[in-house]
Amino acid sequence: MSILLGRVVVITGASSGIGEACALAFVAKGAKVVLAARRAQRLETLVDRLGAAGGEALAVATDVTNEDAVANLFEQAMARFGQVDVLINNAGIADSTPAEDTPLDLWRKVIDTNLTSAFLCARAAIPIMKRQGHGRILNVGSISAKVPRANSPAYTASKWGLDGLTRALAIDCRADNIAVSVFHPGIVATELGGGMSSLPDDLVAQPEDAADVIVHMANLPDHLNFYEALVVQNKIPFLGRG
């Protein structure tokens, strides 16, 4: 029986792509899910779909860069389910702008969405998880936290920062039985940055592939931490020359 049965999973960026696929995959394991993103209608449609599949889900329209909105997300989750066992910090935006063309507003938007959001959600989740005596926080990083694309200073910095935040939280939270980990996807066929539709099938993963890994990382006994995972297309030039 899955440890996720009956557990409550908060998923940010659940209105599309990897987050949406995670919602379906966690519900398939018997978890209840709390869906956060800005596009409320998409979340409600997903709640209906999960309900039809026998799952329990709550949609909370949330801008994860907003401190009050994040506080509301966790208040709503607790009011409905009374616990938060897993947090998936998945919300993110892409950016491909060279440094000299990046206005400060854009820099801040990327850092706020991809990094500060994870801090805000973790900060809200940790006291809840401490009281419960267990918890798991999984951040969705990127292959860009290992090998950046050209012309992506803000995105790259946000994902390297998220990597650092993951390790810092993993250390600070372990005494309270909260496992903090990071999953770095390669190229996933989602709406991110306008979509990857032009790439051949064997150069992309599907959102379900990423969700399978995330669920696998979360589907462990509470005293174990699958700390880090990186999934790359076998044919992309990541591992080295030749």
For 220-242, letters b (16+ CB in 10 Å) and e give eeeeebbeebbbbbeeeeeeeee
Catalytic residue status for 227: no
Work out whether strand 8-12 and strand 228-231 pair parallel, antiparallel, or are unpaired: unpaired
Site map 189..208 versus ligand NDP, x via CB under 6 A? -xxx----------------
Q: Please report how close the Cβ of residue 153 comes to ligand NDP at its closest, in angstroms.
A: 15
Residue 86 DSSP code:
E
How many Cα atoms are found within 13 Å in the side-chain-facing hemisphere of 210? 31
Of 3 and 152, CB closest to ligand NDP: 152
Residues near 71 by beta carbon (within 8 Å), at least 6 away in sequence: 124
Q: Please report how close the Cβ of residue 1 comes to ligand NDP at its closest, in angstroms.
A: 29
Q: Please report how close the Cβ of residue 81 comes to ligand NDP at its closest, in angstroms.
A: 20
Of 16 and 225, CB closest to ligand NDP: 16
**Coil, strand or helix at 28:** helix
Stretch 9-48 residues interacting with ligand NDP (CB under 6 A): 12-19, 37-39
Residues annotated as part of the active site: 155
Q: Contact residues for ligand NDP (CB under 6 A)? A: 12-19, 37-39, 62-65, 90-93, 113-114, 140, 142-143, 185, 187-188, 190-192
